[in-house]
Amino acid sequence: CSCALPQKPALETVRSSLRLLNASAYRLQSECRKTVPPEPGATVDYQLLTQQVIQCAYDIAKAAKQLVTITTREKKQ
């Protein structure tokens, strides 16, 4: 058959990238909520929080790049 069906490895890579994207977005939302102290007078470690947000953003960008790469490759085939 000359149908252009997606290859299984590409599908698994898409699923993996989407899982990373979803988990990272959820984690980013959770980290951002920590900017508000849980109680008056509580301290927030903004340096650690900033590092966590940067890591989440990196993971989101990585997953998005993987999806773009896969999509571009599939279109060329």
Neighbours of 63 (CB within 10 A): 20
In a domain, 2, yes or no: no
In a domain, 66, yes or no: yes
* Dist CA 7 CA 44 (whole Å): 47
* pLDDT single digits (tens) 43-75: 889 999 999 999 999 999 999 999 999 888 777
Q: Are 63 and 24 contacting, i.e. CB atoms less than 8 angstroms apart?
A: yes
* pLDDT single digits (tens) 6-44: 556 678 888 999 999 999 999 999 999 988 888 888 888
- Specify the amino acid at residue 16: S
- Domain range for 17: 10-36+43-75
In a domain, 3, yes or no: no
pLDDT at 2 over 60: no
- Specify the amino acid at residue 30: S
In a domain, 48, yes or no: yes
- Count structural domains, the chain: 1
Q: Are 49 and 34 contacting, i.e. CB atoms less than 8 angstroms apart?
A: yes
In a domain, 1, yes or no: no
* Angstrom distances, CA of residue 34 to CA of 27, 48, 50: 11, 11, 11
